[in-house]
Amino acid sequence: MHKIAEVEVQHDIMVANRKLARKNQKMLDNNQVYAVDVVGAIGSGKTTLIEALIDAMDHSIGVIAGDVISKYDAGRFEKHEVPVVGLNTGKECHLDAHLVEHAFHDLPLGDIDLLFIENVGNLICPVDFELGSHMRMVVISVTEGDDTVEKHPLIFQDADLVVINKVDLADAVGADSDKMVSDVKEINPDVQVIKTSLKTEKGFDEVMEAIEIFINQD
Amino acid sequence: MHELSMAEAIVETVLDVAKKNDAQEIVEVTIEVGELTMLNPEQVRFLLGVLVEDTLLEDAEIIIEEVPVEIKCRNCEFTGLANTDGSDHYLAIVLCPKCDERNVEILKGRECNVKTIKIEKSDEDA
C-alpha cells in the first residue's frame, strides 16, 4: 500500500543567492573594501573602462574578472599590476554570489580598498544575481543600437550609475545617444547617466567622480 | 541563459527533500516563478523534463505558478499588486498603480521557489 503525502518545501533558489550576497558584503565591510559590480553588454567597454579607472583612481584596487573564459580580461588587468582573480563561468551567463565568495579567498582583501567585479557581458541574467557589491554600474555603448535600453529595462531599474560609451561612434552607427539617456531616465529617473568615449576621454572624469561620491556616501 | 542552472538547483532541492521524507516516487512539484525573475517558465519546464530522466522525479507533474509583482511605493506608501507599463514587453517595468511612480520597493515577483512536492511513500513509512 502506498500513500501520497504533500511536503511543504519553500526553498527559494533566489533567496539562497541573496543570503550569500549579504554574507559577501559583510566580508567586504569587515575588510573596508568598497565593491562595484560592473555589468553591461558584450563589447561595450567594461574592461577598458575598468583599466582606465585602475590607472586614474587614487585607491588600492583589486579586480574580479568574470567571463565565460576569464583569462583574456584577467590578463589585461594584470598588466596594470593590481591583484586580479579570473572567474570562469563556463556555460553560465552571469556571476553569482557563490562564485564571488570563492574569488574573495584568492584576493588580498586586507590590502585593497576598492574592488571592481566585472560581470559577464550580458544585460539579462545578472539582474537575478546580487553579488554583495555596494553599487552596480551598467555600461552599454551606442554600437549595440539605441534601442538597447528599452529592450532590457530591468538591469537599468537596478543600476546605481549608467555609462553610455563610444558616443564618438554614434553618427557612424546611426545611434541617438540622447534617446538612450532618456530611455534610462524613463526607467530609473534618479540614476546618473554619463555619456563617454574612452577613446577621446569624454566623460571619463565624471565617471570617476560619480564612483568617488558613492564611496564617500557609504 | 541560466534556466539550466536554475532547473538543476530545483531538481537537487526536490530530490533532497524527497530523500529526507523517504519518498518512493515524486508525484507532483509546484514551483513559483516571479514575474520579474529572468526565467522563461517554458524553458525551465523543458530543461526539467531533460534533467528528471532516471530520477524519482521522472513521472512527476511539474506545476509552475507565476507570482505577480507586489510593491511598496516609496512615494505614496501604497502596498500591493503593481501595475506594469502596459507595453507588450515580457520584462515589465514596475509602476505604482496609485501614483504611477517607478521608485518602488519590490516585495514579491523575484522568486524561483520550490513550494511543495507531493510524494508517494509506503504505508509503513507514513
DSSP codes of every residue in A135-167: EEEEEEEGGG-TTHHHHSHHHHHT-SEEEEE-G
CB contact under 8 A, A2 and B118: no
Q: Delineate the domains of chain B, giving CATH numbers in brackets.
A: 3-120 (3.30.2320.80)
CB of A126 closer than 8 Å to CB of A55: no
Dihedral pair phi/psi, residue B40, rounded to 5°: -90, 110
Cell of A135: 553599487
CB of A139 closer than 8 Å to CB of A44: yes
Residues paired with residue B99 on neighbouring β-strands, in sequence order: none
- ipTM value of the model? 0.84
- Count of CA atoms in the C-beta half-sphere (13 A) of B3: 15
SS3 at position B56: coil
pLDDT of residue B87 exceeding 70, the answer is no
- Domain boundaries of chain A, sorted by first residue: 13-217
Cell of A2: 502506498
**Cβ of B109: how many Cβ atoms within 10 Å?**
20
Cell of A98: 557563490
Residue pLDDT, tens place only, A153-202: 889 988 999 999 999 999 999 999 999 999 999 888 889 999 999 999 99
Chosen from B85, B93, B94 to mutate, greatest number of chain A CBs within 10 A? B93
CATH number of A13-217: 3.40.50.300
Residue pLDDT, tens place only, A103-146: 999 999 999 999 999 999 999 888 889 999 999 999 999 999 99
pTM of the model: 0.86
Q: In chain B, which residues touch A (CB < 8 A)?
A: 1-2, 4-6, 9-10, 13-14, 17-18, 21, 24, 27, 34, 36-39, 89, 91, 93-94, 102-103, 110-123, 126
Where b means 16+ CB within 10 Å and e means fewer, B71-89 reads: bebeeeebeeebbbeeeee
CB contact under 8 A, B112 and A12: yes
Q: Looking at chain B, how many residues does it have?
A: 126
